[in-house]
Structure 1
Amino acid sequence: MLNQQAFSADRIDEADQLRVNVYRLLARLLRQPPDAPLLAILKQMTGDDSELGQAITDLSQAAAVTSLAASRDEYNTLFIGLGRGILTPFGSYYLTGFLHEKPLARLRDDMVPLGIARSDDVRDPEDHVAALMEMMAGLIDGTFGTVQPLSAQKAFFDRHVVSWTPHFFKDLEDCPSAGFFKPVGRIGRLFMAIEQGAFEM
């Protein structure tokens, strides 16, 4: 979804790599319908005894009992629809009720100095939840040219992510039409809370 520069030579620690992994998992799950390789990977995942770990285990179990066709149909029902899906995964919509509003303009302004640009072949606005998950991962691991300090990560998170994504993930978790994607919503909701708490320490 995003134009990515060469990875930074800076190395990140294990905790930050785990953060990157969760952000990229959420980005992939929400960017487009699952494919067979993704479902195969999800089936092999295991979580620990934490709430987030249990949600990951639930996702793995859902992948084990969900067909490729069913997971794709669910994705389309939730996010695409016949004009619009049940959920509208864009920041401007969650914050203003409309697409392409001021939150998107503010995001675009903040992307430029961080070296983040949308790919030419992407039609969705940059405030799609999957794009924001990719952006956070890139700020942490240097995908966009350099590893950003925690202060920059926090500023971006506070301004563009935590302002609405917890509500989106809760809506996804609670959506009656969500089956396979219900644990995705739970993972997102729990992880956003973990990130917010860590940034406030």
Structure 2
Amino acid sequence: MASARPDRNQHAIAEEDRLRADFYNFLGLLLAAPPSELTLKQTAALLGDDTELGQAIRSLARVAKVTKPEAAEREFNALFIGVGRGELLPYASYYLTGFLNEKPLAQLRTDMAVRGITRAPNVFEPEDNIASLMEMMAGMITGRFGQPAPLEDQKTFWSRHIGPWAGHFFSDLEAAENSVLYASVGTAGRVFMEIEREGFRLSAE
């Protein structure tokens, strides 16, 4: 996961941006580790409207309601850890080049340094994993790494490090053989990435 210098200031951001950051954090939480019983209960309590994302959230809530922590852990391990490797490799370098620890990771580390983002001391996997990138976006929106990033800066970071591959990853997660709970996570993530892409596109007009 990403970390930053302590910043106790509560930055004032628009409610829409707060909701975006919350959803990035939510995806990061589910993709970083198997969900706890509390996380499953909180997910089961989510409500969604009739939008495509709202429907995906409702579906995720229904699956979370009948998922036990032990089953979620087995699913997470099969998808992302496995014996040697999981069914999916959730890293930008792998999706963009076919190999781990390639140029996309080096580019990300450069952009992280510019923004004062560092890897948390207890995390040892490459920073270009999907969970960390979701957390980084949330932190940029809320100002966790200093001041809230302007929308143009968010767009630049997203377009370099998330947009080119995250939608493909979430689609793969939807269709993965071992996905049950995480199939719904994949749907919600894919739809959210589409919303973000369109939002950034409209901001440029």
Output the amino acid matched with 2:102. E
Identical-pair percentage? 48
The CA deviation at 1:174 is: 1.2
Residue in structure 2 matched with residue 154 of structure 1 by the alignment: 155
Return structure 1 stretches of 4+ with deviation > 2 angstroms.
7-10
What secondary structure sits across from 2:146 in the alignment? coil
Output the amino acid matched with 1:96. T
Residue in structure 2 matched with residue 49 of structure 1 by the alignment: 50
Conserved 8 A contact 1:89-1:128: yes
Residue in structure 2 matched with residue 2 of structure 1 by the alignment: 2
Q: Does 1:136 align with 2:137?
A: yes
What secondary structure sits across from 2:84 in the alignment? coil
Residue in structure 2 matched with residue 106 of structure 1 by the alignment: 107
Residue in structure 1 matched with residue 123 of structure 2 by the alignment: 122
Distance 1:150 1:25, change over 3 A: same
Alpha-carbon deviations, 1:115-144, whole Å to 9, x = none? 100012111100000000001001100011
The CA deviation at 1:3 is: 1.6
Conserved 8 A contact 1:8-1:146: no
Q: Does 1:173 align with 2:174?
A: yes
Structure-2 separation of matches of 1:177 and 1:44: 24
The CA deviation at 1:4 is: 2.6
Output the amino acid matched with 2:22. N
Structure-2 separation of matches of 1:119 and 1:34: 20
Conserved 8 A contact 1:26-1:188: yes
Conserved 8 A contact 2:37-2:68: no
Structure-2 separation of matches of 1:41 and 1:4: 26
The CA deviation at 1:44 is: 0.9
What secondary structure sits across from 1:11 in the alignment? coil
Structure-2 separation of matches of 1:178 and 1:70: 11
The CA deviation at 1:57 is: 0.6
* Cα-Cα RMSD: 0.9
The CA deviation at 1:9 is: 4.1
1:62-77 counterparts in 2 under 5 A?
62-77=63-78
Q: Which blocks of at least 5 consecutive residues in structure 1 are unaligned?
A: none
Structure-1 separation of matches of 2:197 and 2:64: 28
Conserved 8 A contact 2:47-2:58: yes
Normalised by the length of structure 1, the TM-score is: 0.98
Normalised by the length of structure 2, the TM-score is: 0.96
Q: Which blocks of at least 5 consecutive residues in structure 2 are unaligned?
A: none
What secondary structure sits across from 1:107 in the alignment? helix
Structure-2 separation of matches of 1:193 and 1:8: 31
